[in-house]
Every structure is written in structure tokens, then in C-alpha cells.
């Protein structure tokens, strides 16, 4: 299990999808969650960075868990997800400030992630808040973006959620590049 968290966390960091101490990963084990600890460095996860706690009840480990624990719990309680990645993909976050939906323009990405809703417009969303809304949206989508905050992706494995997260960011990069090119072409 540790190696799976390490591999995904390192790749998210290397790709620039999370900063040094942002984002979080979790998997569900029946009525338990293994989640990265509050402030963990996903680029270099160690054994002590993995916190096991209840899906619906607190225990001694709960205070150490990620500040997004409430969102992870809601997702596990309201969806069939077995793995979750919360990341801060910069291009997707940028698009979330101007769009209510991110639509990949590559057929493969559109097929995998679909149309990605941007949640939380006209709301100040802080870590751990907005949990039920995010979970409900993830019943219909594999990945969602919270306005100005970041993405939540689900899957049966961390790799599935990772694939959705990276495809969302790749699509967002292409959209941003196209917008930039179109802006430059208009000025000529």
C-alpha cells in the first residue's frame, strides 16, 4: 500500500499538480480510510504520512488526517469510490475561475473524464467544506473541480483517480494554450 501512495504522490508532485505540502490521497478499506496526514509532502510520502481512521467515526488518529477528511468521508459514504485524489492542478484551477465547466477538447480525455463541472461558484470554499456537494457530483462524474480550489477525482484504485486528474490537467493546459494563441492571433 505504501508504495502505491508513494508512486502516485511523487508523480503528482513531479508533474506540478500539487505543491510541496498540498493535495491528499486516500483509499477505502471496508469501514476504514487510509488517508495522507495533514500537511504531508506527497512527493516523498513515508509510512508515518498514512493515517488510518474510520469512514464515519473518529478515533485517536483522526486529528492527524488531512484537512480534507470530511470530503473524503462524504465521498466514500455517498459513492462507490474506493480511492480519491484531491489535487491543485494549476491550469484546471485557473479555468475554474472563469468557467462553470471544463470540457476536454481531446476525444480520449473527453471519453475518460467527460465534462468536468466546476462547483462552488458564489461560495467561499475552505478545506474540508462543501463535502456533500462534491460527493453528490462524483456520483455523476469521475472528477470535479472546486472553484479556485482544486480537483477531486475518484476510482477503484489510486491509479484510476490519478489518470482522471492528469487527463483533466492535460486538457486544461491545451484549453489555456488555445486561448492564449487565439488571443495572440487576434492582435496581429
pLDDT tens per residue across span 47-105: 999 999 999 999 998 999 999 999 999 999 999 999 999 999 999 999 999 999 999 98
Residue 184 pLDDT: 58
Task: Tell me which DSSP letter residue 13 carries.
Answer: H
Nearest to 162 by CA among 71, 89, 76: 89
The domain that contains 45 carries what CATH number?
3.40.225.10
Predicted structure pTM score: 0.92
Would you say the C-alpha torsion 15, 161, 107, 183 has a positive or negative sign? negative
- Number of structural domains (the chain) is 1
pLDDT tens per residue across span 152-186: 999 999 999 999 999 999 999 999 999 888 875 54
The secondary structure of 23-42 as a DSSP string is -EEEEEETTEEEEEBTT--G
Q: Residue 80 — φ and ψ, nearest 5°?
A: -85, 10
Secondary structure E strands in 55-96: 83-87
Report how far apart, in Å, the C-alpha atoms of 140 and of each of 75, 80, 153 are: 12, 11, 12
Contact 147, 125 (CB under 8 A): yes
Q: Which domain holds residue 25?
A: 2-186
Name the 3-class secondary structure at 50: strand
Amino acid at each position: 500500500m505504501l508504495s502505491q501512495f508513494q508512486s502516485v504522490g511523487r508523480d503528482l508532485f513531479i508533474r506540478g499538480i500539487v505543491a510541496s505540502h498540498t493535495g491528499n490521497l486516500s483509499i477505502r478499506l471496508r469501514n476504514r480510510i487510509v488517508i495522507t496526514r495533514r500537511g504531508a509532502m506527497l512527493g516523498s510520502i513515508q509510512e508515518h504520512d498514512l493515517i488510518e481512521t474510520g469512514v464515519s467515526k473518529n478515533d485517536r488518529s483522526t486529528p492527524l488526517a488531512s484537512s480534507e477528511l470530511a470530503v473524503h468521508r462524504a465521498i466514500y459514504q455517498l459513492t462507490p469510490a474506493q480511492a480519491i485524489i484531491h489535487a491543485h492542478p494549476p491550469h484546471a484551477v485557473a479555468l475554474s475561475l472563469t468557467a462553470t465547466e471544463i470540457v476536454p477538447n481531446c476525444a480520449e480525455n473527453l471519453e475518460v473524464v467527460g465534462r468536468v463541472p466546476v462547483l462552488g461558484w458564489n461560495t467561499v470554499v475552505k478545506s474540508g467544506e462543501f463535502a456533500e456537494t462534491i460527493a453528490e457530483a462524483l456520483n455523476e462524474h469521475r472528477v470535479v473541480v472546486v472553484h479556485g480550489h482544486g480537483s477531486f477525482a475518484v476510482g477503484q484504485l489510486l491509479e484510476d483517480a490519478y489518470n482522471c486528474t492528469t487527463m483533466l490537467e492535460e486538457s486544461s493546459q491545451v484549453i489555456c494554450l488555445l486561448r492564449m494563441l487565439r488571443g495572440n492571433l487576434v492582435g496581429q
